[in-house]
C-alpha cells in the first residue's frame, strides 16, 4: 500500500504536470527513496465526491496559506510531503477551482490528528491530518492553477491500474494456498479438494482472474501509449474490487473454521482486500462514471446498471439489444 501511494497515487501528476523546480524538490528525492509521499484528497465528509472538498489555499505575497484537513491519508504519519488537492479560487464550477500543491509535512500548522485503526491493512498507516495556516511557496503548485481536478482525475487512472495489479496476485495466492490446504485437509474419507464442487469452483475463480489479467494488460498497454483509458480503467477497478471479494470469500469458506482464525493467511487476505471496493473510489462511484462515459445517464437507473454489468462481462450482443430501443429517450 505504501509503495503504491508513493509510485502511483501521489506522484503521477507531479511527474506529468510539475515544473522543473517542484520536481527537483519533491519528485527526485521521492524516486530516490529519500522522501515518503502521501496523497491528500479525501476529507471528513468528502470521500469519493472529490468536487466537494473544502480545504482552501489563498495567496499571501509569494506564499499559499492553506487551511482545512485531509482524511484517510495513507502514509500520513510518516510522510515527508503531501500532494494535496485544495480549492484555490472562487470559481463556482467545482471542477475549475482546485489545484494540486506540494506541502512539506514538517511545515508549521501541519498536524497528524490521529492514526486511524482499520479493519484491515494493519501494516499501513492511515492518518487524519489538520492544516492550519500552513504556508508554502507559490512555486509548490503542480501545473496550472485551477487545473487540479483534471490532474487528479488523470492521476486516478494510475491508482486504478495499481489497484488491479495488486488484486490479481492476491487472488492468485488465495486460490493457490486454498488448493494446497484443501489437498491436505480430509473430511468424510477424502480430501476437501476431491469434492467436485470445490475444485470446479476454484477453476471457475481462476478463469475469472485470467480474464481480469487480460484487461489489466490491455489498460497498461493503452496507458503507456498515451491513450485515454478512463472507461477501461474504471471498469478494471470495479471488476477488481468485486472479484477479489468473491475469490477470497469463496476460498475462506473452504478453510472452514480455520479460515476464521488469525493463524492462517486467508483471513488476513479477507480483511485486507475488502478495501478494494471502497478505496480509490467506491464501486457505486465507478458504476456512475461508467454510465456517464457510455452516455447512459438518461436511461432508467435499472436499465443502465444492467447494461454496465453486461459490459463488464463482455456481453455486448445483449447490451446492443437493450440499448438501441432506449435511444428514443434522448
Enumerate the active-site residues: 159
Record the cell numbers describing residue 273, joined without a space. 482486500
Record the cell numbers describing residue 238, joined without a space. 470495479
Record the cell numbers describing residue 288, joined without a space. 456512475
CA–CA distance, 126 with 40 (Å, rounded to integer)? 11
Secondary structure (DSSP) of 225-254: TT---HHHHHHHHHHHHHHHHHHHHHHHHH
From the CB of residue 262, how many other CB atoms can be counted at a distance below 10 Å? 8
CA–CA distance, 230 with 208 (Å, rounded to integer)? 22
Instruction: Say if CB 171 and CB 244 are below 8 A apart.
Output: yes
489563498: which residue's cell?
Answer: 58
The C-alpha torsion from 114 through 120 and 125 to 126, rounded to 10°, is -50
CA–CA distance, 140 with 101 (Å, rounded to integer)? 6
Rg for the chain (alpha carbons), in Å?
Answer: 22
Amino acid at each position: 500500500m505504501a509503495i503504491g501511494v508513493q509510485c502511483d497515487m501521489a506522484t503521477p501528476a507531479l511527474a506529468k504536470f510539475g515544473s522543473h523546480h517542484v520536481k527537483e524538490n519533491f519528485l527526485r528525492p521521492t524516486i530516490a527513496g529519500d522522501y515518503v509521499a502521501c496523497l491528500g484528497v479525501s476529507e471528513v465528509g468528502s470521500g469519493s465526491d472529490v468536487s466537494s472538498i473544502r480545504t482552501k489555499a489563498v495567496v499571501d505575497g509569494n506564499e499559499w496559506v492553506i487551511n482545512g484537513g485531509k482524511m484517510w491519508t495513507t502514509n500520513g504519519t510518516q510522510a515527508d510531503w503531501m500532494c494535496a488537492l485544495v480549492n484555490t479560487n472562487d470559481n463556482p464550477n467545482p471542477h475549475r477551482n482546485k489545484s494540486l500543491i506540494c506541502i512539506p509535512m514538517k511545515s508549521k500548522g501541519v498536524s497528524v490528528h490521529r492514526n486511524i485503526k482499520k479493519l484491515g491493512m494493519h501494516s499501513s498507516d492511515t492518518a487524519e491530518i489538520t492544516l492550519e495556516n500552513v504556508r508554502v511557496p507559490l512555486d509548490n503548485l503542480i501545473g496550472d492553477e485551477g487545473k487540479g481536478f483534471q490532474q487528479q482525475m488523470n492521476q486516478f487512472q494510475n491508482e486504478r491500474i495499481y489497484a488491479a495489479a495488486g488484486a490479481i496476485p492476491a487472488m492468485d495466492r488465495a486460490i493457490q494456498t486454498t488448493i494446497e490446504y484443501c489437498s491436505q485437509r480430509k473430511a468424510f474419507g477424502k480430501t476437501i479438494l476431491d469434492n467436485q464442487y470445490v475444485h470446479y469452483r476454484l477453476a471457475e475463480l481462476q478463469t475469472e482472474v485470467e480474464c481480469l489479467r487480460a484487461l489489466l494488460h490491455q489498460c497498461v498497454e493503452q496507458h503507456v501509449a498515451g491513450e485515454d483509458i478512463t472507461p477501461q480503467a474504471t471498469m478494471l477497478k470495479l471488476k477488481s474490487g468485486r472479484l477479489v471479494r468473491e475469490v477470497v470469500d469463496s476460498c475462506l469458506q473452504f478453510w472452514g473454521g480455520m479460515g476464521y482464525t488469525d493463524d492462517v493467511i486467508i483471513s488476513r487476505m479477507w480483511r485486507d482486500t475488502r478495501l478494494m471496493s471502497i478505496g480509490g473510489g467506491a464501486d457505486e462511484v465507478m458504476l456512475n462514471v461508467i454510465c456517464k462515459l457510455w452516455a447512459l445517464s438518461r436511461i432508467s437507473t435499472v436499465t443502465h446498471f444492467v447494461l454496465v454489468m453486461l459490459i463488464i462481462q463482455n456481453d455486448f450482443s445483449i447490451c446492443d439489444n437493450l440499448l438501441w430501443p432506449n435511444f428514443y429517450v434522448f
